[in-house]
């Protein structure tokens, strides 16, 4: 019988806090039970197992996204939604260790809201079909890169080694020099999103 006061939401929010503080590997049924002051078996009244727990964590992350359904302008709405999704995923670096296809109602609500903004902007259904996946790819890909390169790697090549590596490739050498000396100002995520939305606007 489930402990009075113990709910699926309590289990998931505790798991989320634990994953944020110590990483996904710290989230086990035994550890969760200890954090909640219950027997591990009692957790199975609320989550079916590790896969269900992970799916619940994914859904919690997506539930933090601003759907921007009150935004009258379709581009501004997609800027708010995609930017909110980007920031939500950045807050939980362990997210990309989980199967991206998992997720529940919150993930579906984000997809539905994205399509709603595209429809409001007059994007044809055939184009919106692909646009949903392209926008998803931008959010996932840019966020993953930001997280992947946010932690210094002791094995990474030094600036001089990078220069020597790309020296035979003129255009790449210029690009690398920008990284090493003065990264271009501005938010790359927003710039990339604007490029995508400009293309969508032209295809309506």
The reported pLDDT for the residue numbered 110 is: 98
Q: Are 40 and 60 in contact (CB under 8 A)?
A: no
* Confidence band for 32, pLDDT divided at 50, 70 and 90: very high
The reported pLDDT for the residue numbered 204 is: 82
* Average pLDDT value for the chain: 92
- Percent of the chain at pLDDT > 70 equals 94
Comparing 104 with 74, the larger pLDDT belongs to 74
> Residues spanned by CATH 1.10.10.60 within the chain?
8-47
Give 38-48 pLDDT, tens digit per residue.
999 999 999 99
DSSP string covering 22-86, please?
Answer: H-GGG--HHHHHHHHTS-GGGGGGT--SHHHHHHHHHHHHHTTS---TT-SSHHHHHHHHHHHHH
> 1.10.530.10, 1.10.3720.10, 3.40.630.10, 1.10.357.10: which CATH number matches 66-203?
1.10.357.10
The reported pLDDT for the residue numbered 185 is: 63
- Percent of the chain at pLDDT > 90 equals 82
> Residues spanned by CATH 1.10.357.10 within the chain?
66-203
Comparing 135 with 203, the larger pLDDT belongs to 135
The reported pLDDT for the residue numbered 153 is: 67
Q: Are 56 and 12 in contact (CB under 8 A)?
A: yes
The reported pLDDT for the residue numbered 2 is: 45
pLDDT at 157 over 90: no
The two structure tokens encoding residue 156: 């990474």
* Overall CATH class of domain 8-47: mainly alpha
Q: How far is CA 75 from the centre of its chain?
A: 20
pLDDT at 1 over 60: no
Give 108-132 pLDDT, tens digit per residue.
999 999 999 999 999 999 999 999 9
pLDDT at 3 over 80: no
The reported pLDDT for the residue numbered 180 is: 86
């Amino acid at each position: 019988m489930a402990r009075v006061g113990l709910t699926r939401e309590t289990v998931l929010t505790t798991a989320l806090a634990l994953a944020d503080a110590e990483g996904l590997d710290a989230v086990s049924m035994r550890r969760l039970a200890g954090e909640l002051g219950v027997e591990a078996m009692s957790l199975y009244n609320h989550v079916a197992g590790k896969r269900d727990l992970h799916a619940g964590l994914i859904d919690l992350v997506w539930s933090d996204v601003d759907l921007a359904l009150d935004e009258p302008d379709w581009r501004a709405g997609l800027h708010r939604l995609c930017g909110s999704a980007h920031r939500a995923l950045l807050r939980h670096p362990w997210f990309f260790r989980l199967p991206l296809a998992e997720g529940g109602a919150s993930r579906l609500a984000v997809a539905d809201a994205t399509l709603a903004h595209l429809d409001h902007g007059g994007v044809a259904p055939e184009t919106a079909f692909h646009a949903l996946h392209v926008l998803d790819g931008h959010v996932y890909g840019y966020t993953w890169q930001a997280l992947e390169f946010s932690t210094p790697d002791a094995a990474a090549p030094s600036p001089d080694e990078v220069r020597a590596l790309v020296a035979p490739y003129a255009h790449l050498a210029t690009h690398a020099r920008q990284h090493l000396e003065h990264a271009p100002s501005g938010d790359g995520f927003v710039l990339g999103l604007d490029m995508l939305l400009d293309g969508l606007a032209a295809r309506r």
